[in-house]
Amino acid sequence: MITMIKKYIHIATIILITVLTTTYLHYAKNQTSSPHVYFGELYYLPLLLGAARFGLKGALLTYLLISAAYVTLVWGGQTVDFPWGADRALHLIFTGLFAVVSGKLVERDRNKSRQIEQERYFAGIGQASTVIVHDLKNPLISIQGFARRIQEGKGDISQAAQTIIASANTMQRIVNDVLEFAKPLRMDFHNEDIRAIIRRACESCRTKAAENGITLAEVLPAEPVISATDSFQLARALVNLIDNSVDASSRGGHVTVTAVSAKNKLIITIKDHGIGMDSETLDNLFELTYTTKNEGTGFGVPISKKIIDAHHGMIRVKSQKGIGTEVIIELPIKKMTNPEPITEKCHDARRAQLQ
């Protein structure tokens, strides 16, 4: 709908400029030549608009429109001498050439942009395929190996079955991550206290941190930080990032999640003192890459960035090999006016999905 409105606005603008220009020329044709020449150049404005908005076809249709108006209003019922008529004819010829050239240039640039987007799209498919193949390879090998042992009657059948089920669950998680990353995010914004979202994300990671001997702590503002937020999606992004920090930390390590209110924004920092990342890993952190972890996929960080971008936020990462990693998230603080109420039942359902 918005695209159609913009299209009609462009068409109306082209017609309006054409009518105003030709009307002026009609009444100025017996005046001095200087303003006549200057306003004659205004014909290039609708031509540019037609070419920029509709390409070669738009430029040619606009040219026909202004030519018809030009001939009717400037030459209609007027006896002209040869120099003046030749000058006006050349003007029409040159504006026609301008329409063709500008239209072709616009279409060439559009075709080039479409080609680049298509190449980027297929490159993304190839990259995603590489990730999928790599991540599915290990659980698939486990399933084949233990299924063969069951078939041959070797080893503990119960343990083999458990391994097959765990591997199948891993494959299912990979497939779900791929589908989730590929589809557009469905955001549901409500005025929420972001502190509660951070606490919930930390609680989701606390059990794993305790099992690995990692201390997970959060430092939050004393006052509520109310902003238009999709609490489920934001908690999901934070869980991915905190989980990565826990995985990167050694037993006895510390992971700290800090939130600080700044001018119209909240800065969330997730800091660990783990293994850190080299420059190559850091440069490709937000791209689809296969994971080097024993569990999980390479979609966690890109999905988190996608969620933060949807909140009009920004994420950046600082890391040094052997020293640790610091993830910095900046979220704008902006309340919704007349927000729709969100029920506790809806909250509980989405929290269950997060867990």
Write the DSSP assignment of 39-108 as a string of letters.
Answer: HHGGGHHHHHHHHHHHHHHHHHHHHHHHHHHHIIIIITT----HHHHHHHHHHHHHHHHHHHHHHHHHHH
Residue 353: its pLDDT value, please?
Answer: 47
**Integer Cα distance of 87 and 73 in angstroms:** 16
Residue 32: its pLDDT value, please?
Answer: 46
Mean of pLDDT values over 195-201: 94
- % pLDDT > 90, the chain: 29
Written as one string, the DSSP assignment of 298-339 is TTHHHHHHHHHHHTT-EEEEEEETTTEEEEEEEEE--PPSSP
- % pLDDT > 70, the chain: 72
Pairs from 14-17 (Cβ < 8 Å, separation ≥ 24): 14/46, 14/49, 14/50, 14/62, 14/65, 15/46, 15/65, 17/42, 17/45, 17/46, 17/49
Band the pLDDT of 346: cuts 50, 70, 90: very low
pLDDT at 327 over 90: yes
Residue 7: its pLDDT value, please?
Answer: 67
pLDDT at 270 over 50: yes
Residue 43: its pLDDT value, please?
Answer: 67
Residue 195: its pLDDT value, please?
Answer: 95
Range in 118-122, 289-293, 310-314 with the lowest mean pLDDT: 289-293
pLDDT at 205 over 50: yes
Residue 308: its pLDDT value, please?
Answer: 94
pLDDT at 263 over 80: yes
Mean of pLDDT values over 18-25: 60
**Average pLDDT across the chain, whole number:** 78
94-146 pLDDT, tens digit per residue, is: 878 888 888 888 888 888 888 887 777 666 666 667 667 766 777 888 888 88
pLDDT at 241 over 90: yes
Mean of pLDDT values over 258-281: 91
Residue 31: its pLDDT value, please?
Answer: 47
Band the pLDDT of 293: cuts 50, 70, 90: low
Residue 19: its pLDDT value, please?
Answer: 65
Residue 95: its pLDDT value, please?
Answer: 79
Indicate yes or no: pTM above 0.75.
no
Range in 70-79, 141-150, 209-218, 327-336 with the lowest mean pLDDT: 70-79
pLDDT at 344 over 60: no
